[in-house]
A and B are shown apart, each in its own frame.
Chain A
C-alpha cells in the first residue's frame, strides 16, 4: 500500500523505556474536499495503527480524517525481552501494511 519508515533501537537494557517512531506514506484523503470540477473526492484514510511487541499490543492509535497526510507517530514502550516489534496499519478498506523491527534486550 505504501512506503513505511520506522525507527527503533536495536539494543536496549531490560526495563528501559525506548522511543519508537513510525511513519507511513498515505494521502489521508478527508472526504471533505472537492476536485476541480466540484465533484466530491471520496474519503480514503488509514483508520488504525497498532504496535505489537512479541505479538502483544503495547500502543494503538485510531485515526480520523483530521490526522495529517503521511501519519506520523512517536510513542514509547518498555523494553522487556528480546524479540520483534511489529508496526501495523489498517486502512478503511481493511488493507493491512506492516513492518517489523528486531530488538535485543540485555539484562
Chain B
C-alpha cells in the first residue's frame, strides 16, 4: 500500500466492497425460483387431488415472446356457461417464475363466455399450465410453451 495515495485506496476499497455486495445480491434471488415440483404443489393446494383432464382448454400465447415483462395470454374454456354448467375458476401456473401462481380468475354463469385475456411476466422459457375448474368439480387443463428472449426481471 502506498501511503502517498490514501484517498485513491479508500475509493477503490469502497468500490470493491460495493461491487461485491451487488454481485452477491444479484445471485440471492435465484433461490426464490420455483421448481416444477412447486408448481405441482400449487395445483394441489388449490384443487386438491382431483385428476386433471387434458383438453377443453385453449391457450393463446405467442410461441416466442420477445419481452418477458409483458406476454399476452388468452384462455378459452369449452363451456356453455349456463347456470347448470359453467366454469368456476381458471388458474394459471408457472414452473419457472418465483411464485408458481401467476393469476387466477373466478367466473360464473353471468360471465356468459369462458374467455379471458391478460398480460403476464415470464422469467424465462417455460411451459405454463392452465387449469379450469368446472361447476361439477371436474378439472380441465392445457399447457403451452413460450420461448422468452428477454426474461422478466423477477428472478433478480
Contact = CB atoms under 8 A, between A and B. Distances in A.
B118 interface: yes
B115 A76 contact: yes
Interface residues on B, range: 35 or more
A5 interface: no
Interface in B99-137: 99, 101-108, 110-113, 115-122
B104 A61 contact: yes
A53 B112 CA distance: 13
Given A30-B154, A72-B119, A73-B118, A66 B108 contact: no
Q: Which of A32, A53, A78 has the most CB of B within 10 A?
A: A32
Contacts, number: 118
A59 B111 contact: yes
B103 A62 contact: yes
Contacts of A73: 116-118
A32 B32 contact: yes
A84 B73 CA distance: 28
